[in-house]
Every structure is written in C-alpha cells, then in structure tokens.
Amino acid sequence: MLRKEYTENPFNKEEYGRLLKLALGPRNQKQFCVDAGLSRSYINKYINGMMDKPPTIGTIEKIADATEDVSFEELLVAAGYDPGKHERKETMKGKVDDAGQYLLMPVLLNIMNSDYEWSISSQGYREGEPVQVVIENEPVRDWYFIPVTKKDVAREDILAVLMSDQQFTNTSKVSFVTQNEIIYDRIRTMKFPLLSLYVSAIRVNGKNIEESEIKTNQETDVNIVEGMQKNLFSID
C-alpha cells in the first residue's frame, strides 16, 4: 500500500520559503543543511519557491529541530497541514554501533556525493530501525540500509525483515549492506518475485562499493553510483 501525506489546505510556497529564510538565522545555507540533515539543493529550491509539492511532515520536523526562530506549527500551516491534526513526533537520538558505522559511512558518503535530493530520516539501530535516507523526486521515496554480518544468512532471514517492517512500502528500497563477499553473493542471488518493494545487496570493500539489485516485481535505477566525488568543505 502506498503511503501518502495529504495536506488539508493549499501549499503556500512563498510563505514557506520566507519561514525557511528565518529558520537559517545567522547560519549560511550550507551549515543549516548540515544541522537539519537535508540536502542543500532541496532547501534551496524551497527557499526560492521552485517546488510546487509541499514538504513532508518528517522534513518539517527536521527543520523545526534545527532552528529556534521558526516553530513547527508555523511551518505546518505554510505547508498546508492543519496543526491540530498533526502531532510532532519525538526526535530519535540513537547512535549507529561501530560495525554499522563502518559499513554505512562509505554508502552514505556516496549518496552525499550524488545528484539525488536527499535527507537523513533516522539515526540508528538502538531504536530497532534501519538508517533511512529520503530521496525526493524519484520512484524510490525511502531508502533503508541494513547491515548484515550473519555468515549463514538465508532467504528466510531476509524475507522476514522485508515482511515484518510496516514502514516498507512500494516506494521503499531496502539495501542489505555487508563487507563479506560470501554474504554478498548469497544475498544478491535471492529472488522475491511477488514482493512490491525495491531490494538490493551492497558490498563495501574499503572505499569501493558494489551494488546488485535483487529480483522483485519492481525495478529502479536509483542506486549507488561508483566514482562520484564532490569536493566537500574542509579546513586544510
């Protein structure tokens, strides 16, 4: 079932852009995007009124968490949501464990270097959920990453994960990440032809990343792209 969020009122993109400018405060746009966990191109388009589609409530929560100059309720109203019908969720503060951090950092850096409009949606495994990257304007809306270290992982193990999480929808992609070649080969040959979900296996080998799509009844070209490298800001 496709998960959607419907606004109760029209999206006022001019007012929303004005509120975003206020939310920046004294920070530049780059620093604000880092603080909010949102891509710079995504925020820039909303600030300049270039997006007709309202932001998700999850995105509004991230912006509200990153500023004291604009309220969650003000952002909701500008986006077209009724504040009386949408409660603010508690911000999760979990941390990725050492093994997951090692596996996922090269993957997340690859997405940061891509041309996708992305934002980080969740923060780790101690709350019992996978890391989630939200991709805008693509067939894949929510991209989840799950580290795998079990050497004898079976099809039943993978299927149990895919079927047990109600947040996975037909606009979700679930990628199982490992550094072990045997685990990777085992997972990437699995098939789930009746599953309405995008699924892949990812192998991390140092800075090199390899991804294989797993057979389901859906296909996508939203994937890890090797060789993309942008110059990130640094103090040298």
Tell me whether residue 207 is in a domain.
yes
Tell me whether residue 93 is in a domain.
no
Tell me whether residue 144 is in a domain.
yes
pLDDT in tens, 38-51: 888 889 999 999 99
Q: Binning pLDDT at 50, 70 and 90, where does residue 126 land?
A: very low
Structural element, H or E, at residue 213: strand 208-214
Residue 94 has pLDDT above 80, yes or no: no
Same domain, 205 and 164: yes
Between these two residues, 123 and 72, which has the higher pLDDT value?
Answer: 72
Q: Which of 11-15, 42-46, 123-127, 138-142 has the lowest mean pLDDT?
A: 123-127
Domain that holds residue 110: 98-214
Same domain, 72 and 178: no
Tell me whether residue 231 is in a domain.
no
Q: Binning pLDDT at 50, 70 and 90, where does residue 235 land?
A: low
Tell me whether residue 233 is in a domain.
no
Q: What is the pTM of this model?
A: 0.56
Q: Which of 85, 113, 146 corresponds to the end of one domain? A: 85
Sequence-distant (6+) residues with CB within 8 A of 35 are 27, 66
Residue 181 has pLDDT above 70, yes or no: yes
Q: In what order do the strands lie in the sheet with 131-136?
A: 117-120, 131-136, 142-147, 172-178, 198-205, 208-214
- Give the mean pLDDT of the chain: 81
Q: Binning pLDDT at 50, 70 and 90, where does residue 33 land?
A: confident
Sequence-distant (6+) residues with CB within 8 A of 183 are 148, 149, 150, 151, 153
**Is there a contact between 58 and 5 (Cβ–Cβ < 8 Å)?**
no
Please state the domain count of the chain: 2
- State the average pLDDT over residues 114-133: 69
Q: Which residue has the tokens 């975003």?
A: 20
Between these two residues, 229 and 171, which has the higher pLDDT value?
Answer: 171
Q: Which of 85, 116, 142 corresponds to the end of one domain? A: 85
Residue 188 has pLDDT above 50, yes or no: yes
Report CA Rg, the chain: 19
Q: Which of 34, 57, 85 corresponds to the end of one domain? A: 85
Tell me whether residue 30 is in a domain.
yes
- Looking from the CA of 113 toward its CB, the CA atoms found within 13 Å total 15
Same domain, 106 and 160: yes
Same domain, 23 and 119: no
Same domain, 133 and 154: yes
Tell me whether residue 91 is in a domain.
no
Same domain, 46 and 107: no
Tell me whether residue 33 is in a domain.
yes
Same domain, 121 and 199: yes
**Is there a contact between 43 and 22 (Cβ–Cβ < 8 Å)?**
no
Percent of the chain with pLDDT over 70: 82
Same domain, 191 and 169: yes
Same domain, 78 and 165: no
What pLDDT is recorded for position 89? 60
**Is there a contact between 136 and 41 (Cβ–Cβ < 8 Å)?**
no
Same domain, 60 and 114: no
Same domain, 76 and 110: no
pLDDT in tens, 190-224: 999 999 999 999 998 877 889 999 999 988 877 87
Residue 168 has pLDDT above 90, yes or no: no
Same domain, 202 and 155: yes
